[in-house]
Amino acid sequence: MTKILIAKNSGFCFGVKRAIKMAEEAALIHKNINTWGPIIHNPQMVSALKEKGVEEINSMPEVTDKAIVIRSHGIPLTEKNELQNKGIPVIDATCPYVSKAFDYAKLADIEKYTIFILGNPEHPEIIALKSYIKNEYHIVNKDFSRFENSRFGKCAIICQTTQNEQNLERLVVFLINRCNELRVFNTICNATNIRQDATVELAKIADLMVVIGGKNSSNTKMLATLCSNYTKTYHIETADEIEDSWFKNHNTIGLTAGASTPDWIILDVYNKINKIVGNSDIIIKSVHDIPGYKEEINER
Ligand code: SF4
């Protein structure tokens, strides 16, 4: 029998659960509401919310008199202020861990540090984060070579919440001899670490990993990259993308899902693979029933 195991803590993190709950509650109170950008990086969940009256908008001219929910990874300060000045209900579902990174950016900026933002410059969280900085900052991801010959005074590092710790360590080592003072705000979210560690643990023993989550989700893409260091890996958004041929001659199949992947998609994938490999036609109805699943409550 083929084993199908799921990494601990797969699926929604604290911040995403909170944002979805806030959006659903707001939709009940205000009937139809808008979210500024996708509330989370999962196209299927965004569509499901649309059916409940939660509709995404992406620019100021689209704002109406409907209540608006700010997504879990925040929006730039000027846009937030503009929304608040419109006199419509603004529900801020920015994850508290993301808000903390914004607060550190403000603090380091006031204290005149040259700020290194470790993250993807196109990610909404980083676009929002940089709006809190008025003085010098640099956004870096993996390649720091443009600063090879630079010297700095006071430097601070702030991370995109979905960064991995090895990247942060690399940047610390790189900067330490190129500045007089280095202050590190480790704003990497624990939820990301917990999911990455559990995923790697499983990828090491699995013949094949299936990573479930939005193709636009940074943390899901990171899980897929980590898995592919150890074993054959497929990144899918839904069960429809699964091909029977992937599972031939494999004894242990690992599943994992990003922090923005809803349980019902994980369940669909598990049930479909279970059927393909001939284990069972019984449909399970809770991720808690997938072997290996464990929700840890130590997310910070
Ligand atoms: S991954 Fe972390 S920072 Fe991002 S929404 Fe989830 S709990 Fe918040």
**Tens digits of pLDDT across the chain (300 residues):** 899 999 998 999 989 999 999 999 999 999 889 998 888 888 998 899 999 999 999 999 999 999 999 988 899 999 999 999 999 999 999 999 999 999 999 999 999 999 999 999 999 999 999 999 999 999 999 899 999 999 999 999 999 998 888 999 999 999 999 999 999 999 998 888 889 999 999 999 999 999 999 998 888 999 999 999 999 999 999 999 999 999 998 999 999 999 889 999 999 999 999 999 987 777 888 888 888 887 765 555
pLDDT value at residue 6: 96
pLDDT attached to residue 299: 52
- Ligand 1: nearest atom to the Cα of 162: 1
User: Is 154 a domain residue?
Assistant: yes
Q: Tell me, yes or no, whether 182 and 207 share the same domain.
A: no
Residues 199 and 154 occupy one common structural domain:
no
- What is each CA distance from 277 to 242, 257, 289, in whole angstroms? 12, 20, 18
Identify whether residues 91 and 130 lie together within a single domain.
no
In 3D, which of 76, 57, 77, 52 has the Cα closest to residue 68?
Answer: 57
Q: What is the pTM of this model?
A: 0.84
The ligand 1 atom nearest the CA atom of 19? 5
The residue from 134, 165, 188 where one domain ends is 188
- Residue 269 beta carbon below 6 angstroms from any ligand 1 atom: no
Print the domain residue range for 278: 3-12+191-289
CA of residue 191 to ligand 1 center, whole Å: 6
Ligand 1 centroid to Cα of residue 219, in Å, is: 9
Q: Which two tokens stand for residue 234?
A: 């497929």
Last residue of a domain, one of 154, 173, 188: 188
281 assigned to some structural domain: yes
Task: Tell me, yes or no, if 237 is annotated catalytic.
Answer: no
CATH number reported for the structural domain that contains residue 268 in this entry: 3.40.1010.20
Domain membership of residue 282 (yes or no) is yes
Residue 191: the pLDDT is 87
Sign of CA dihedral 280, 283, 285, 287: positive
Half-sphere exposure of 71 (CA within 13 A, CB side): 24
Note whether residue 300 is domain-resident.
Answer: no
CB of 16 within 6 A of ligand 1: the answer is yes
Instruction: Tell me, yes or no, whether 247 lies in a domain.
Output: yes
**C-beta of 260 in contact with ligand 1 (< 6 A):** no
In a domain, 295, yes or no: no
Contact 98 CB / ligand 1 (< 6 Å) = yes
Q: Is 85 inside any structural domain? A: yes
**What DSSP character marks residue 86?**
T
The whole-number pLDDT of residue 286 equals 87
The residue with tokens 């900052």 is 137
Give the residue whose CA is nearest to atom 5 of ligand 1.
15
Same domain flag for 48 and 101: no
Look at residue 117 in the predicted model and tell me its pLDDT: 98
- Residue 161 CA, ligand 1 centroid: distance in Å: 7
With a 6 Å cutoff on the Cβ, whether 259 touches ligand 1 is yes
Assess if residue 169 is contained within a domain. Answer: yes
| Structural domain ending residue among the three candidates 78, 95, 112 | 95
Number of structural domains the chain divides into: 3
Catalytic member of 125, 241, 243, 299:
125
CA of 273 to the centre of ligand 1 (A): 28
**Ligand 1 center to residue 106 CA distance, Å?**
20
Q: Is the same domain home to 135 and 180?
A: yes
One domain, residues 177 and 209: no
